Structure 1
Amino acid sequence: MENQSAILITELKKLLNGGTAHVRLNDAIANLPFNLLGEKPYNLPYSIWQLVEHIRIAQWDMLQFSKDGTHQSPKWPDEYWPKEVSPKDEETWNNTLKQIEADLQLFISLLDSSNLYETIPHGNGQRILTEALQIADHNAYHIAEIVVIRRLLGAWET
């Protein structure tokens, strides 16, 4: 069983870091002009900025939930989505990207220090394994939306 857990942890890390069957966030936003972050082509409901900020908020929430029994999640859905269509400046954009990466690495460190199968005491049956899969799935879904928006804006090179 120990070897199987090590294999599972290795695969979860690959899944969370992206780049296997999914585009990584860093690749999805590479060389993206700042002025396109707030564009919503074809009346799509979200801009790239709103998607990236949503990824940050949701991933942060799942990380905090996994570590802290006193954590209070934001109100769904209003507090998981920014109202602003674009970041106020490049510093805000860069800080969001840094937090996404830092929180992802903190969550990945939980994989090595936690029992993947034990239920989280303050949850409703969730496990670190459950949260890892949810983060990976959620991020991949929204990163794909970013790629679609870039394609619609003519700002994606294949």
Structure 2
Amino acid sequence: MAEKEVIKSLEELLTGSHAHISFEDAVKDVPEKIRGVVPDNMPYSIWQLVEHIRIAQWDILEFSRHPGHQSPPWPEGYWPKDPAPKDDNAWKESIAQIKKDCAEFIKLLKRPDADLYAPFTHGDGQHLFREALLIADHTSYHTGEIVAVRRMLGAWK
């Protein structure tokens, strides 16, 4: 019973917004004209933050389910060079992929044979519970940055 509660809590952490705004709400209705703007004294645009979230989450998902997965080189493989998406479709695809990969990770947690705390056969001690927390923590951190950039650009309520 306790394991099901842990999985439920992890799913809520990955998809919800208890202590802060959700990723989905942070990127909702971002005007196309500001997606690629890098504000003064900030290193990234909203697009770069969204893509970074997508790439990092994908990497964690693939690492968690495929022992032979090769992560991109750090840091250049995790950050897009272009500050703006090539078009509105690229923006929508990135956000959809983040949602899809999160759902795929939750499926890993819910597999009948899943052991949340068993170290993977690869890596250096990582396990599903740790990787779920890593995705949630990383996404939350950068979601806050998205909101801050939106505020700087006058596109936040």
TMscore range, shorter length: over 0.9
Q: Equivalences for 1:8-157 in 2 at 5 Å?
A: 8-113=6-111, 114-157=114-157
Question: RMSD across aligned C-alpha pairs, in angstroms?
Answer: 0.8
Aligned residue identity for 1:135: I
Q: Which amino acid aligns with 2:155?
A: A
Consecutive aligned runs of 4 or more in structure 1 exceeding 2 Å deviation? none
How far apart are residue 19 of structure 1 and its match?
1.2
TM-superposed CA distance for 1:43, in Å, is 2.6
Q: 1:139: how far off?
A: 0.1
**Aligned position for 1:7:** 5
Per-residue CA deviation, residues 23-42 of structure 1 (Å, 9 max, x unaligned), is 11110011110110011112
| Amino acid corresponding to residue 76 of structure 1 in structure 2 | W
Alpha-carbon separation, structure 1, partners of 2:22 and 2:44: 19
TM (normalized to structure 2)? 0.96
Alignment TM-score, normalising by the size of structure 1: 0.96
How many residues align structurally? 155
5+ long unaligned stretches in structure 2: none
Whole-angstrom CA distance in 2 between matches of 1:139 and 1:32? 17
Q: Deviations over 1:28-85 (max 9, x none)?
A: 0111101100111123000000000000000000000000011100000010000000
Q: Percent identity?
A: 50
CA distance in 2, matches of 1:13, 1:20: 12
> 1-side partners of 2:84 and 2:16: how far apart?
25
What displacement does 1:17 show?
0.3
Provide the rounded CA distance (Å) in 1 between the counterparts of 2:16 and 2:47: 20
